[in-house]
Amino acid sequence: MKGTVLLVEDEVDTREMLERAIERAGYCCIAAQSAEDALTRAAAAGLVDVVVTDVVMGGGDRRGLALMNEL
């Protein structure tokens, strides 16, 4: 594995497509459906090398940006 990517996307189809692409590229992908889910999964994983996040999620204009601060 090249590294671990935390993928945060609330649209199911987009999340699944990106998850497959990241894994095909040789990375371990931790996919989350919300910022809250991402925080839980990141804590459980221990180490995440890269975060790829949607900016607009769950009714929050900038929830993805807030997530980056929380991580």
pLDDT score for 57: 84
pLDDT score for 59: 67
CA 61 to chain centre: 17
pLDDT score for 63: 84
Q: Decide if 28 contacts 5 (C-beta within 8 A).
A: yes
Mean pLDDT by 10 residues, the chain (71 residues): 94 97 98 95 95 85 87 90
pLDDT score for 62: 83
pLDDT score for 64: 87
